[in-house]
Amino acid sequence: MTTRGIRRKKSSLTEVKIAVLGAPSVGKSALIVRFLTKRYIGEYDHQTENRYKHEAMVDSEPILFEILDTCPKAGEDELPNTAEIVQWADGLLLVYSITDRYSFNYIRKAKADLHSDTPVALVANKVDMVHLRQVSTEEGDILAKDFDCKFCEVSAAEHVGQVADAFQDLCREVLASRRKSKQSLLDRMLGGTRAYSRGKSDSALPKD
Ligand SMILES: Nc1nc2c(ncn2[C@@H]2O[C@H](COP(=O)(O)OP(=O)(O)OP(=O)(O)O)[C@@H](O)[C@H]2O)c(=O)[nH]1
């Protein structure tokens, strides 16, 4: 009885898969670790992709986040395994660093290469290093308008709430997009049914 209760609760979790993309050293791992543990780990050394699972409440709904920390190769302009990542992910967190113009251009190019309407969010990291700023807030805003997505400037080193908000906002976009595609599927099905019914009743009308 209890076991069944627990199972039901687990299976009722909504899963949201988020891939975090960006040029080398923009702070992808630092942002993810901040979201998962609320802690800041300055040096996070890894050479391969990492996946994490994390439960969190978003608007009173329990969500099971699956987060993919992608691993770009230094000096390469292309995102790693773009097609696979896009196929896997429900949402893409696109990260650049305000101290690194190359990382901003990388995101612009990467987004164009994605050829996908997967929901995205644009995150500018390292806002604590404002004295080394190379990319203005306005440029970030303009790029986000271009992408038709949310934008925020954060610091994995200093912010806890804002970093969590970035992941949660993207989660909301994913859920909204799911509802939209479910609704349009339903509309198409109902539309089909309506057309069929109309056809039927039309044929039942007395002929002139
Ligand atoms: N000042 C500051 N440094 C940061 C911040 N976030 C990350 N860093 C530093 O930036 C460097 C790279 O951080 P990572 O989290 O490893 O970046 P990454 O994008 O995962 O790097 P790759 O795995 O190489 O792609 C580390 O030295 C971090 O300490 C931040 O918000 N502020």
Residues 112-168: pLDDT tens digits?
888 888 999 999 999 999 999 999 999 999 999 999 999 999 999 999 999 999 999
Residues 81-93: pLDDT tens digits?
788 899 999 999 9
In a domain? residue 198: no
Q: Tell me the CATH number at 45.
A: 3.40.50.300
Residue to probe by mutation, ligand 1, list 20, 21, 26, most atoms within 8 Å of CB: 26
Evaluate whether ipTM surpasses 0.95.
yes
**Ligand 1 contacts CB of residue 29 (under 6 A):** yes
In a domain? residue 101: yes
**Are 105 and 97 in contact, with CB atoms under 8 Å apart?**
no
Domain count, the chain: 1
Quick one: pLDDT at residue 113?
Answer: 84
Task: Tell how strand 61-69 and strand 50-58 pair up.
Answer: antiparallel
204 pLDDT band, cuts 50/70/90, is very low
In a domain? residue 208: no
In a domain? residue 51: yes
Higher pLDDT, 53 or 6: 53
State whether residue 128 is helix, strand or coil: helix
In a domain? residue 114: yes
Quick one: pLDDT at residue 191?
Answer: 77
Mean pLDDT across 91-119:
94
DSSP assigned state of 14: E
Residue to probe by mutation, ligand 1, list 28, 103, 135, 160, most atoms within 8 Å of CB: 28
Quick one: pLDDT at residue 155?
Answer: 98
Quick one: pLDDT at residue 17?
Answer: 98
Ligand 1 center–CA 29 separation, angstroms: 7
- Which residues form the domain of 91? 2-191
Question: Which residue reads 């773009």 in tokens?
Answer: 82
Ligand 1 center–CA 28 separation, angstroms: 7
In a domain? residue 201: no
User: Long-range contacts made by residues 140-146, C-beta under 8 angstroms, separation at least 24?
Assistant: 140/98, 140/104, 143/104, 143/107, 143/108
Sign, CA dihedral 17-21-24-30, equals: negative
In a domain? residue 66: yes
Ligand 1 center–CA 195 separation, angstroms: 56
Residue to probe by mutation, ligand 1, list 20, 21, 25, 129, most atoms within 8 Å of CB: 25
Assess whether pLDDT exceeds 60 at residue 9.
Answer: no
Residues 30-75: pLDDT tens digits?
999 999 999 998 877 777 789 999 999 999 999 999 999 998 865 5
CA gap 121, 105 in Å, rounded: 16
Looking from the CA of residue 46, the nearest atom of ligand 1 is 23
CA gap 46, 20 in Å, rounded: 15
Quick one: pLDDT at residue 192?
Answer: 62
**Ligand 1 contacts CB of residue 160 (under 6 A):** no
Mean pLDDT across 7-30:
85
Backbone torsions φ then ψ of 33, nearest 5 degrees: -60, -40
Average pLDDT, the chain: 86
Ligand 1 center–CA 104 separation, angstroms: 15
Residues 152-181: pLDDT tens digits?
999 999 999 999 999 999 999 999 999 988
**Ligand 1 contacts CB of residue 40 (under 6 A):** no
DSSP sequence for 67-83: EEE--PPTT--SPTTHH
Assess whether pLDDT exceeds 80 at residue 202.
Answer: no
Q: Which of 45, 58, 51, 57 is nearest to 32 (CA)?
A: 51
**Ligand 1 contacts CB of residue 156 (under 6 A):** yes
79 Cβ neighbours under 8 A, 6+ residues apart: 21, 70, 72, 85, 110, 113, 114
